[in-house]
Structure 1
C-alpha cells in the first residue's frame, strides 16, 4: 500500500516524476503537463487561502468538466479543504441547496452560471467566476486578480488520512440530496487497491466520462494522475453522442475506459464501432447498474482485446466488490454478471433482517466494513445511525441496502435493492428480478420496473421497455414473454414501450421520473 496520505500528494509526486507527461487533455482542445497542472493548482490554492479558505473548510465547484475544474479540485485539496462538486447542468436551486447545506467557504463557477446561482444562494459569499470562453480561463482570472489584489504564495496544508477530501451529494429519501463525506484515507484505500489490481502505467490514457459529482470520477482522476498517465476529459455533450464518442475514444487512443453500462450499450448499438481502430484499449470498467448480457456480447464482439471488469459499490463505499468477465465466462448460463468478491482490505457479510449472517446461497443485505467506507452523511445524524450496523464486537458495518447472494466460485451476485422489495398478493417481489427477466429478451435494449401504491393489491407494477434498434415489441408480446419467464404474481400489470429510458445526470435510470409518469 502507498504511504501517501493525501490526494494532493499524488499530483505533486507525479509532477516530480513525470513533469513533461500530459496530465489532462481535452479532445480537440488544449492539454496541460503535470508540471503545468501542479503549478496552476498551486496558484488556485494561494487564491483560495487569500479568500479565507482554511483546513477543514469546503470549496464548492459548479463547473463544466475542464482543466480548470481539475486544477480547482487540487487547489482546494492543497488548501486543506474538501471539494464539493455540483452538476453544472442541474437546476440552480438544487446546486444552491447543496452549497448551502455544507456551508462552502468559496464557490468556483462560470460566468454563464453566476447570476442564477447567486440568486438561488441568497447570499454574497466569495466566488471565483471564470470566463469559460477564454483560451485559458483560470490563468486569465488569476492573473487579473493578482494585479488588483495579490495573493501571497503559501505552502500546501499537510492533510492526513482522516481529513475530509470531498463530499458527493446523492438523491435523498426526504426529497433533498444528502452529502456523502469521504476522507483522504477512504479515497486512497480505493486508489491503492486499483493500483495493485490493475497495474496502471504512465503511458495509459484514462477516460474521464463520469461527471465530477459522480463517484466513478474518483478512479478516473486519481488512479490516472497517481501513475503519471493522461486523463482524457469527455465533456457532457460528447459523452452522450455515440458516433462522436466512438471516434474520440479511437482518436485519443484511450486505453482505460470507465462508465455506466448504458453508455457502453449506446456505443455498441449506435457508435458504429467497426469503423474505428481501438487497438489502444486494454481495460474496460463498468459500474452503476446492471449490464445486460446481450449488450455486453454486442460490445465484446467488436472490442475483443480489452479485459472487462464489473465494479460495484454505492457512493458510500466507492467500489467495494469486483468481478472480471473472462473470455471463458459462461454467458449462456448467466442472467446478470456477478458483482464478485470484496476488495481487500475491506470486509463483507450478508445478513438477514435481524442482522444474522445467512448461509451461502441465501439472499440477504450486503454489509461492508473497512477503510473504503465513508465517514458518514453531512449533518444528518439520524441517517448515520440508520446507515450502520454494529456487530457483536462493536465494529460498524455500512448497510448497502443491496440484496445479494454469495456463491462459492464468483463471490456475490446482485439480486436487487432492499427498498425495491415490494409485497404483492402476499408475495415478496424484487423489482430487479423482473428487470433481469425482461433484459434477457433478445429484442430488449433496456428496461426498468417500478411499483406504485394500489389499494386492492398493495402495488401495481409498471414495466418500461426500450427495444433494440430495428425491432419492435407489442405489449401483448411482452406480457406473453413475461408469463413464460416469471411466476404469475411477478408479471407487470402495465407495459410501456418507449424510445429510451430517462436518465439522471450520472447516467443511471431515473426511476423517480418513471414513477411520476415522466
Structure 2
C-alpha cells in the first residue's frame, strides 16, 4: 500500500459522531483547504464558521436535535455547508435530488416527517408541514455572517440519526433508511484499516447527495483533513472534461459506479491525459465487470491509481467489502468483492437457511456496526430484511441484513458477486425495483401489462427497457406517450431507455410472465454491440 509521508496522517482522535470528526479536522488543520468549487475555496476554519452560521439560522427558525430536514439543493459548495449546518443542530438531513419528480418529493417529505426544508421546493406549492424554509440564498449569505450571537444546543451524539436516504421500495413506494452517526463512524474507522488516505488527498464529490456514495465522498475527505472538490456543472456531463478536471485539480481519490467509469475509461483511451496524482479509483453501486477495466489497466497500470471494488448497500452504510483489483481479476470474468470490512460478519446462506459450501451460491447476510436498525415506518419489511439470529452458546441475538444479493466464496475465501435474488437491480449506483417501474407503466390507462428488464446495449452499458401490451378497447399507446407518462411519476434513473409494444406477453406454462422470453425479445430487437 502507498505509505503517507511525515505527519500527514496526524489528526484528532476518532470520535463517534460526524461533527466531532469535523471539529477535529478543524483543530488539526484550520488553514488547509477543506472545500472547493468551480471558482472558490474554503479552509477548514472558514467552512466551520459558515456551517456554524447555517446551524444558527436553522436553530433560530425552530430546528432542534432529532428533527429531520429535507435538503434539496444543486450539488455545490453551499449544499456541503448545509449538510454540516443541519448536523450541527443535531438534526438529520433527508436529501432529495433536484431531478426527482413531485410525487417522490411529496412522499419523502410526508414519510420522513421532515419539519424544515433547506434549498428550494420548485414551482409547486410547498407541503404545509415544511414550515421552515432556508433557501439557497440564505445558505450563501451565511458565509459572510457576522460573529455568532449564540451557539445552538450541543450537536449530535453517536445514536442520533445523521441522514435518511430513500431507496426504491418493494411495494411501489420508496423506503427510508435512517443511518446514525455511529454507523458512518464505523465505516470510516474500518476504511482506515485498508486505505491509506491522508490530509494531502483531494476527493471529488461526484455523486448526488441523494445517493449514499456522497456520504463516503464527503466524510472520506472532511474526516481526514483532506480537500473535497465539488464537481462543477461544466464537467458533469462530459467524460473528457471530467478527466480534464481530475488532472487539473489534482484529484487523488475518485469514486465511480462502473457505468460512469466505463465512459470515463473510454474517453481516456481516446486521449493522452495523464493522471499523475490519482491514487485510488473506488467502485461501488453496481456490479463491476473486470473486462471493462482492461483498457484502463493497460494504459495506467494497477499500481497508481489502485482500483478497488467496494461492494456496498445503503442499509449497511455505503461500503461493506474491500477488494483491490489484480491482474488475475482482469484475466477472468468474476466480479470479486473480496473480504468484509472490519467488524462485519458475512454469511452466505443457501435456500435451506444453511451456510453454503465454498463455491456454492447463496444470499449474502451481513451483521456488524455499520448495519442500520431497519426501515423508517416499515416494521414488517424491517422484520423480514433485518432478522435477529440467535448465535453462540448463549443464544445471543445478532441482527443481520439480508442483502438479496447472490454471492459465493472462492477457494481463498473471497466473496464473488453473482447477481440479485429478486427483481431488484443496480444501475448507475441506484437500486431499482423492476416491479416499481412496471407498476408505474401500468398506471397508463391504455397499458394492459408491462415487463421491465435490463438490457446490455454494449459492454457495461446497461439500461432499463420496457416491453408492454396495450388494451384492445383503447387506441394503442405509443412510446413517446409512455415517456411523458413515466417522466411525471419516476426519477430519471428509473425511466426505461426504450419501449417495445408486444401483441402478447410471453408466459410460462404456469401462467406467469416469462421474463427470460421477454429478455430474448430484446436481444433480437437490439443485439448487443
What is the TM-score normalised by the length of structure 1? Answer: 0.79
User: 1:13-92 residue pairs with structure 2 within 5 A?
Assistant: 13-26=24-37, 28-92=38-102
2:242 to 241, 245, 248: 245
Aligned to 2:264: 267
Q: 1:251 to 1:142 in 2, by over 3 A?
A: closer
Distance 1:80 1:126 in 2: 16
2:325 counterpart residue number: 325
Of the three residues 112, 115, 121, the one matched with 1:105 is: 115
Looking at structure 2, the residues matched to 373 and 354 of structure 1 have their Cα atoms a distance apart, in angstroms, of 24
CA drift at 1:401: 0.6
- Preserved contact between residue 195 and residue 223 of structure 1 (Cα < 8 Å): no
Q: Give the equivalent residue in structure 2 for 1:516.
A: none
Secondary structure at the residue paired with 1:359? coil
Partner in structure 1 of residue 221 of structure 2: 224
Distance change in 2, residues 1:227/1:361 (3 Å)? same
**Corresponding position of 1:475:** none
Equivalent of 2:506 in 454, 463, 471: 454
Once the 2 structures are TM-superposed, how far is the Cα of residue 2 of structure 1 from its aligned partner? 5.6
Deviation, structure 1 residue 497: 6.3
Kept after mapping to 2: 8 A contact 1:365/1:418: yes
* Structure 1 residue 450, shift from structure 2 partner: 7.5
Structure 2 CA distance for aligned equivalents of residues 15 and 500 of structure 1: 51
- Which range is displaced more, 155-164 or 309-318? 155-164
1:246 Cα shift? 1.1
Ranges in structure 1 where 5+ consecutive residues have no aligned partner: 132-136, 423-430, 432-437, 463-488, 502-518
Q: Which residue of 1 aligns with 2:355?
A: 357
Q: For the residues of structure 2 that align with 1:102 and 1:8, how far apart are their CA atoms? A: 22
Q: CA RMSD in A?
A: 3.0
* 2-structure distance, mates of 1:48, 1:500: 52
Deviation at 1:498, TM superposition (A): 5.9
1:140 and 2:141 matched: yes
Q: Would the alpha carbon gap of residues 420 and 246 (structure 1) be closer, same or farther in structure 2, given more than 3 Å must change?
A: same
Task: Identify the residue that residue 485 of structure 1 maps to in structure 2.
Answer: none
Where relative contact order (Cα < 8 A, 6+ residues apart) is larger, the structure is 2
From 365, 368, 387, give the equivalent of 2:366. Answer: 368
8 Å Cα contact 2:69/2:114 also seen in 1: yes
Aligned to 1:312: 311
Equivalent in 403, 408, 414 of residue 406 of structure 2 = 403
Q: How much does 1:226 deviate? A: 1.2
**Which residue number in structure 2 is paired with residue 390 of structure 1?**
388
> 1:223 and 1:447, CA in 2 relative to 1: closer, same or farther beyond 3 A?
closer
Equivalent position to 1:181, from 174, 178, 181: 178
In the alignment, is the contact (CA less than 8 A) between 2:50 and 2:143 conserved in 1? no
Q: Distance in 2 between matches of 1:357 and 1:490?
A: 34
| 2:422 corresponds to | 419
1:192, distance to aligned residue in structure 2 (A): 1.1
**How many Å apart are 1:138 and its aligned residue?**
2.3
Q: What does residue 346 of structure 2 align with?
A: 348
Q: State the Cα deviation string for residues 54-102 of structure 1 (Å, max 9, x = none).
A: 1111111000111111111111111111111110121133122212211
Deviations 1:84-131 (A, max 9, x none): 111012113312221221111210114xx4432xx1525551101123
Match of 1:505 in 2: none
Q: Distance in 2 between matches of 1:295 and 1:24?
A: 32
The alpha-carbon deviation at position 314 of structure 1 amounts to 1.2
Q: Residues 497 and 398 of structure 1: is their aligned pair in 2 closer, same or farther, counting only changes over 3 Å?
A: same
Report which stretch shifted further, 206-215 or 452-461: 452-461
Give TM-score, length-normalised by structure 2: 0.77
Please say if 1:168 is aligned against 2:160: no
